[in-house]
Amino acid sequence: MSDRAASATVAGAIEGQNLSGYNKDLEHHTAYNNIVVVCILGGIGAACLLAHWVDVFFNWSAEREGAPPGWLFGLLLASYALLIPGLHGNLMSFDITLQIDMRNNLPNMYYTVTITAEGRKGVASESSLDLMRLSFKAGAWPAGSLLAFYAIAIPIIKLILIFLGESWRFSNDPSKLERSRLCIQAIQTVSKWAAPDMLAFICFFYLVRNMDNPPRVLSAAELDFGFLCFAIFCMLSTLATIFIRPPQDSSVDTLTRQPLLVRFFGLKGVAYVTWATVGLFILLLSIGMVTPCMTLSLNDTVLLYPNGPVPTEMAGQLHGLNLNKAIGEQVTMVNMLTNLCIWTARGELLIIFAVLLINIFVVAIPVLDMLVLGLAAHSAAHSAGQRASDSDGQPPAKHVLEQLGSGINYMQVAHTLHHVGMLDVFVMGVVIVALAVGGMYSDRGLVLSLARGIVPLLLAEIVHHAMHYNVAALCKYSACSKP
């Protein structure tokens, strides 16, 4: 059979399909997922109340000073109960079909990009475990390994650290108390790192849904049950660990040398440098939010026979259609958040949840953290400077920031914000999902790749981390320099 005859056969076989209903398999998801959201949130609330009542009845946390309250263990147990369905359940269901009009005697031809779990053309529904398996199968070993590490290893490590930290909390051995403190601090540091793929899948969801451009490109996408469970697990377990207080550190803080900021800029220059750094962070974040960080495009050579419906002798005409322009999509955080907010009008609670995740954890909290770090540095430097210049024995007048709180007070707030801010997690997630999904669908012509917007986002987070550790050292220096 010739290429043209084969293509006509394929096209004729599906020409009668009602492609206006190509996403019918996805329509039930919205109502179903909304009900599941309400049930899960209600179950989490019930678990916290039950654990609180048990704690009050046995008087457990009241008799053990510093022990986490009962409701906190209820929150952790409820969040981990969602981890298994979060790993096995579908993160997202999506469908992409192309209509190819060659403008000749051939009927319209169709090409379904997505494939089912069984390998047939149709709606793709993949869980976190499926992503790992398919990434390894496609040869994307780095992406598959990172997915397994963040989605499976990190939650297990968190459980081990919680168990060890609480086991050693009430020991009379100072070395075990120190280990308990280090374990709990480690929990708070690594807790948010279970979430990279979950955050980046919001970007991929936006790309697929936004590329719908009938009649040439027919696409549909729905966030699914697995995304809901895994997202709630990540958020609740991260927030819960922040409320676990480590044992009191009995060691005395001492500094043998001035922190980096003071050595290079002096106490008077610290405030200017820190606020300039805050401005640099906001500038980089703003550039990153308006610049594409991920792109989705089409390799139209896969549409040629025998992989696709287009005869090989019509390759020139196919390239002339410029299908890549029709399917090509780019993710900027601003456009993504704008469209997600518009889609919330459809009543999809999972999209509302996704909007809150990106707006609060990826954008708002890192910005707020930088502002608090600026206040902490300004207050700590001013306090240390006043004490250094107080040679007449008169009590110095309090600076306006000191009236609001010391650098240490601000640093405690910044410490909490730093552990729940997820701009760094988002950047890592974009890299992982681009590698994983790009490898899985490359043979189907779908090209998912990183874009230049990831660079300013990465630089913003590097500035954020550098600012945090330097201001922490400055606040410790200010506290240790008290007479």
Q: What is the 3-state secondary structure (H, E, C) of the chain?
A: CCHHHHHHHHHHHHHCCCHHHCCHHHCHHHHHHHHHHHHHHHHHHHHHHHHHHHHHHHCHHHHCCCCCCHHHHHHHHHHHHCHHHHHHCEEEEEEEEEEECCCCCCCCEEEECCECCCCCECCEEEEHHHHHHHHHHCCCHHHHHHHHHHHHHHHHHHHHHHHHHHHHCCCCCHHHHHHHHHHHHHHHHHHHHHCHHHHHHHHHHHHHHHCCECCCEEEEEEECHHHHHHHHHHHHHHHHHHCCCCCCCCCCCCCCCCCHHHHHHHHHHHHHHHHHHHHHHHHHHHHHHHCCCEEEEECHHHHECCCCCECHHHHHHHHHCCHHHHHCEEECHHHHHHHHHHHHHHCCHHHHHHHHHHHHHHHHHHHHHHHHHHHHHHHHHHHHHHHHHCCCCCCCCCCHHHHHCCHHHHHHHHHHHHHHCCHHHHHHHHHHHHHHHHHHHHHHCEEEEECCCHHHHHHHHHHHHHHHHHHHHHHHHHHHCCC
- Tell me the pLDDT band of 16, cut-offs 50, 70 and 90: very low
What CA–CA distance (Å, rounded) separates 153 from 171? 28
Say what percent of the chain tops pLDDT 70.
75
User: For the residues 440-446, what does the mean pLDDT come to?
Assistant: 72
Write down the pLDDT at residue 273. Answer: 87
What are the tokens at 89? Answer: 């359940």
Higher-pLDDT residue of 324 and 111 is: 111
Query: Around 378, how many Cα atoms within 13 Å sit in the side-chain half-sphere?
Result: 20
- Tell me the pLDDT band of 320, cut-offs 50, 70 and 90: low
- Tell me the pLDDT band of 39, cut-offs 50, 70 and 90: confident
Write down the pLDDT at residue 95. Answer: 84
Calculate the average pLDDT of the chain: 78
Write down the pLDDT at residue 365. Answer: 95
Lowest mean pLDDT among 101-110, 131-140, 231-240, 388-397: 388-397
In the predicted structure, residue 171 carries a pLDDT above the cut 90: no
Report the range out of 164-178, 205-219, 428-442 with the highest average pLDDT: 164-178
Write down the pLDDT at residue 12. Answer: 35
372 contacts 417 by C-beta, under 8 angstroms? yes
User: For the residues 35-46, what does the mean pLDDT come to?
Assistant: 86
In the predicted structure, residue 133 carries a pLDDT above the cut 60: yes
User: For the residues 37-66, what does the mean pLDDT come to?
Assistant: 81
56 contacts 33 by C-beta, under 8 angstroms? no
In the predicted structure, residue 119 carries a pLDDT above the cut 70: no
Element (DSSP H or E) covering residue 335: helix 333-343
Write down the pLDDT at residue 396. Answer: 46
Closest CA to 326 of 77, 116, 98, 44: 98
In the predicted structure, residue 135 carries a pLDDT above the cut 90: no
Q: Which residue has the tokens 């950047």?
A: 427
Element (DSSP H or E) covering residue 226: helix 225-242
In the predicted structure, residue 459 carries a pLDDT above the cut 70: yes
Backbone angles phi, psi at 212, to 5 degrees: -60, 115
Write down the pLDDT at residue 219. Answer: 83
What is the helix, strand, coil percentage profile of the chain, to 5? 70, 10, 20
Measure CA of the first residue to CA of the last residue in the chain; give whole Å: 93
In the predicted structure, residue 8 carries a pLDDT above the cut 80: no
| pTM of the predicted protein model | 0.82
Write down the pLDDT at residue 89. Answer: 86
